[in-house]
Homo-oligomer: A and B are copies of this chain.
């Protein structure tokens, strides 16, 4: 790939991003400062197509970037640009939004992302049980019913209603809560689901009833607030690539059906820190072949919390979107860092996560 091919590819991607129309040799020659004629461009384009960077919708139309073409564009074109430059507005708003609770902050950040990009914003919250138990109470309701409340150190609570065979006194319930609370505080919820609780059940036979219910509560997949946040789903309908309902429906339904996307976002991607771009079929969901997913991790001083980003048509302004996502994720991270207060100490993760340098050497497929 020589320099001129590179410039042609870049011109085509840029133009296609802008117009959503296949771009021809003439346009490239005219609008982008290549100092050669259309015929020359044509030759280059034919080569680029052979190499797999371009595709032709039909014989006599212009060229369109392929997944590989976008990938190359994203990997090479953006290095060197200052990441946090523009789009300070959305970032500023995230920082200005004072939310003490992680889920509210993330929700707000996702909302801003979807507004700023006109795409669908998506984010994962930890909630997978990684948070630690801050407290456990058993609150009496009417009669023989009570509520078990697990409070995590992220400030969120999970609850479950339980019914006793007998009607225990409020004092009893309080004691149960206190006893369990003292013994389990500080444990990650996920760990509780496993052995720790079982051991306790043996030790404190009388509390078995409650302990069993707590186990059930922990086993419930979405016991906490929704783990995957989606915002601005209807934005996708604005995009020209989804002009016909069928295609839009496929994507939206895939998103609604399995929250598989969440699974994917949740996976700790091996060597990829920070900003991540998945283009077309790089997304492991057949229905998303025409989409791209741009995400970044956000973190609290304790470590990585989740991912936040946007899902849009494959033809998107990667420069802008990547900056925006990186900026917003960084702002969330920053907000989480500040929230813990200055006494926290340690370097933490206030700086936005570094962009991985080896993004390029992943498989093409």
Contacts and interface: CB of A to CB of B under 8 A. Distances in A.
A108 B134 CA distance: 30
Contacts of A256: 232-234
A77 B340 CA distance: 63
A245 interface: yes
Interface stretch (A247-255, A289-297, A355-363): A247-255
Contact of A225 (B139, B160, B225, B242): B225
Contacts of A151: 137, 139, 147, 149, 159
A208 to B, nearest CB: 18
A2 interface: no
> Which 6 A/B pairs are nearest by Cβ-Cβ distance?
A135-B139, A100-B161, A157-B157, A155-B161, A237-B249, A234-B252
A190 interface: no
A225 B159 CA distance: 12
B149 A153 contact: no
A156 interface: yes
Contacts of A144: 341, 343
Contacts of A147: 134-135, 151, 155, 157
Given A147-B134, A147-B151, A159 B157 contact: yes
Contacts of A42: none
Interface string A26-46: 000000000000000000000
Nearest to A344: B143
Nearest to A146: B134
| Interface range for A | 35 or more
A141 interface: yes
A364 to B, nearest CB: 32
A153 B242 CA distance: 45
The A interface is mostly helix, strand or loop, or mixed, namely mixed
B248 A161 contact: no
Nearest to A159: B157
Given A155-B160, A155-B161, A243-B245, 10 more contacts: A100-B162, A134-B139, A135-B139, A135-B147, A142-B340, A144-B341, A225-B225, A233-B256, A237-B245, A237-B248
B145 A149 contact: no
Given A155-B147, A233-B233, A249 B238 contact: yes
Given A245-B245, A249-B238, A155 B159 contact: yes
Interface in A127-184: 134-135, 137, 139-145, 147, 149, 151, 153, 155-163
Given A159-B155, A233-B256, A137 B140 contact: no
A244 interface: yes
A101 interface: yes
B140 A134 contact: yes
A162 B339 CA distance: 11
Contacts of A242: 245
Nearest to A167: B343
Contacts of A238: 249
17 contacts: A101-B159, A134-B141, A139-B151, A142-B153, A143-B341, A143-B343, A144-B343, A149-B151, A155-B161, A156-B159, A157-B157, A157-B159, A232-B256, A233-B252, A234-B252, A234-B256, A238-B249
